[in-house]
Structure 1
């Protein structure tokens, strides 16, 4: 999942062998955890028609259920970011993995909408530290100008898992039912939690040379002296923070439209069987995985060209990615041919995940290192609002219009607006007071 040749590009030439091994181990564990994380999220989308039929849910109620995870996930972001910055990602992610695994198993045992909503809320709380904690891991282990690529490799799990999930989860569901599908995904989370706690260590606890730690933080600038909620209030003074908050809304909105409604869209609008919808869904989602990795490669190459600072190499792919994703998403629902629609959706998810990877990397290069997780949390609150509204609004629009066209057009328009926000509001770095 994380190619050694690609990851080597992010390694400074003078890093010790011990540091190189620990960096690769950290990124590998993050990718594995991120894949299990997204398998858990995707299970509801894959089981959408079967769950809706068994529990007797309307499209609007299904939209509410699909969005419940994102609401709790979003509300927990800032507290999770504060906890990651205060206690470190090892403890925060370990506890989160255990909680989300219990919640996923509970989802396979429910018998009512209320019970299912409770399980999805718990899943959101457990998964809330995952990506902000993972970005902090990359900031802890990689120098400023080399962070975009490992963050992109890690973030690619958010696209790799949705690409793998439809065919794998669909086969599990067809063979054993949607409930067993949920339980197996939950058990996988406990395995990842054990691996994380056994093998991951922060640089200061990993026995690497002090010179490597100095090199990692050489270009970070001053750390901020205050942590906790004071840190949150300090970050909110900067327009850049608000630009990231508002802009990431569009990145996650368009991604979650695909993540939650793509199998249902193919079944309802394109008249595919459950099995075929699972297979077709894997193509755009696989393109999203390629886009997630490509975002880091693009940012890294822009940095090597020179003339653009580290923040600029992340901002530009976010802006272009959102514009391309918006165009492709709108076009996809107007074409009659299934192959063309899949190709356009693939382009849309590729571009959206380029924007996502570089959006995550932006916080790691634009703020003091001990504020990265909290800034990521603030940004991801905006993203989570987008993620919670995308399935809910799309379900409501489908319920009232009988068509997916309004939902996809709205997602494209939101992507354009958020590209403009990134362009106008994220041009200045966030620096500690002197």
Structure 2
């Protein structure tokens, strides 16, 4: 299991890197191929759309053929192939296509690890294990910050993407070689769980609104908008953007490791999720009220977004308690589809929000509007989530 998880985590490091790299690449892509922040918002949105669209077939494949082939084949073909397309890009359209392929390739990686955990560990331990993988995988966020900025300055952005294509292909090959599938649960077709059947589970619907929006905040800001925000409001260059993004990435790593033990300490997934997301809402409110604050304050606030916005594993662990073992692949993929689909929706919607706001005023006001745009759905999701079943029995 350790070897199986190790290479899946390596794949997840790449997944986190690819969704975070556009924030640092934004300035050079604007100069060299004319890709605007709005174009890159679409590219990132397409990454999340393709990622989310793959969750249904990924969930079925995990339950039927296991994580080894599901993850290894898709990561090799989609992830490495998409990086090659991106490296060859001459304009925004090729970036869009490359990110779509990368999204397809990255779609099964985390769910492959979660499938193994769900089949091997109790629900009480699932959150800690899931958070540990998220935390380790979030090293990709760190690599997509200051180290990426250094690579771009040193060897160029195209060469960097060619190197990533090679690394992605090697990781996919290692998954195919070393990952071991859990023993399958044989069930008749009549009893095989379906996505629609899972959606009929009582109580799941009050969790789904927060699942839809909670990861959208940190993914949207870290994945793209932190770069244009720092450049346009604070006059930051690529190196400074990389440093702030690095601080945000470190905070995300810490948050992923903290949420798992916290929900076990509190004896409740629900209390940990509500507390962390309420603090995240306060941080977003401060960014909305003072987008022009000093760079130190902005760095701390962005780190706060990363730290308290890392509740995804705890939300997934809470949702996991609703699913029977024979449908756990579909179950975690269903939750992931809502989570990543929410990121895609808000990412696409953020472009017209930003463009309308910048046309009506200055950059500082435009980004204040953008922070409010992320805050409101978060509060709505929390409003539903407070009525969810606690699931504290799984800790006893």
> Do Structure 1 and Structure 2 share a fold, with TM-score over 0.5?
yes
Partner in structure 2 of residue 73 of structure 1:
51
TM-score (norm 2): 0.89
Partner in structure 2 of residue 166 of structure 1:
145
Aligned counterpart in structure 1 of residue 97 of structure 2, from 105, 112, 118: 118
Partner in structure 1 of residue 269 of structure 2:
314
Seen in structure 2, the aligned counterparts of structure 1 residues 170 and 243 have a Cα distance that, compared at 3 Å, is same
**Runs of 4 or more above 6 Å deviation:** none
Aligned counterpart in structure 2 of residue 327 of structure 1, from 282, 286, 289: 282
- Matches of 2:384 and 2:192, distance apart in 1: 26
Shift of 1:84: 1.0
> Which range moved further: 140-149 or 125-134?
140-149
Seen in structure 2, the aligned counterparts of structure 1 residues 237 and 71 have a Cα distance that, compared at 3 Å, is same
Contact 1:247 1:382 in 2 (8 A): no
Q: Does 1:378 align with 2:342?
A: no
TM-score (norm 1): 0.81
Shift of 1:173: 0.9
Aligned counterpart in structure 1 of residue 352 of structure 2, from 372, 380, 396: 396
Partner SS for 1:404: helix
Contact 1:82 1:374 in 2 (8 A): yes
Output aligned runs, 1:164-313, within 5 Å: 164-204=143-183, 231-259=194-222, 260-303=224-267, 313=268
Shift of 1:428: 7.1
Contact 1:240 1:428 in 2 (8 A): no
Question: In angstroms, what is the RMSD of aligned CA positions?
Answer: 2.4
Contact 1:363 1:372 in 2 (8 A): no
Partner in structure 1 of residue 318 of structure 2:
362
Partner in structure 2 of residue 348 of structure 1:
305
- Matches of 2:298 and 2:50, distance apart in 1: 33
Contact 2:208 2:335 in 1 (8 A): yes
Contact 2:135 2:256 in 1 (8 A): yes
Shift of 1:424: 1.9
Output aligned runs, 1:34-49, within 5 Å: 34-49=12-27
Seen in structure 2, the aligned counterparts of structure 1 residues 234 and 198 have a Cα distance that, compared at 3 Å, is same
Seen in structure 2, the aligned counterparts of structure 1 residues 426 and 253 have a Cα distance that, compared at 3 Å, is farther
Partner SS for 1:147: helix
Contact 1:394 1:407 in 2 (8 A): yes
- Matches of 1:105 and 1:62, distance apart in 2: 17
Equivalent pairs counted in the alignment come to: 381
Shift of 1:347: 1.7
Partner in structure 2 of residue 5 of structure 1:
none
Partner in structure 2 of residue 11 of structure 1:
none
Shift of 1:406: 0.8
Shift of 1:56: 2.1
> Which range moved further: 67-76 or 294-303?
294-303
Aligned counterpart in structure 2 of residue 424 of structure 1, from 384, 387, 390: 387
